[in-house]
Chains A and B, each alone.
Chain A
């Protein structure tokens, strides 16, 4: 006798592609992304919604994949760092992080980039104070943040060149 299949059938869209998958009710979004789908860009770190390393976008809004149930994906759009580039062309926020060398060890970078994308999609002209406030929830232990803030500002300039 095998145990009954407790898995839920979930229809979702991940990085623009429709996906049907099965996951137990208690599965966390981060586990499904990393372990079942091989999307390891989102990082596991604090596990308590403080550090931001696992930031992904759910219907465009940033969430901690480590603390959201995979069940919440159903019928929604999930965007991970793997879904940002268009073919070989990096997303402008990724380009800006590269150009400013806004990372050292790089562990926080995918979450940081996803948070910046969420912010700039919604508030393209965010002020430096708004950027700092928004990124308060994404921790970087290497850079001291200045290069990251420079990258955000460069991404803003690239999207809307001064007249």
Chain B
């Protein structure tokens, strides 16, 4: 698995987990009476908290992923070369590892094109979510549900964007 695909899968998984946690939280709070259908202030607070958590989790996951991926490359390189005592050789291996890590993490023209195309998928998902939330409102459902669908569509757009990136990397652009 290449660096880009592994990164996208990690992001997609973290986004999915966060979305599930949000849904569970909303459900629990609604069942316990903390959130009410008519009162949106608590829901807005929860959403703001989750936006903050989302940013924090994304940064943490990125850092952990890069550390683990770098360790993975270093281990692979060490296994390939084998153990040695010579200082020059050891330094050479270290340079090789650094070079490999940098090479794997290059953001080139294909990555940028895939990012742009996937962004479109994200926008479309958000648009569909917005449309669905308006329909929900027209059908007479509470605003509580509409706001949640809108918020969920943002989460879903992020997940769909990463999924589209994986597909583009596998199938080609």
- Same complex: no
A residues sitting closer than 8 Å to B (CB atoms) are none
Q: Which residues of B contact A (CB under 8 A)?
A: none
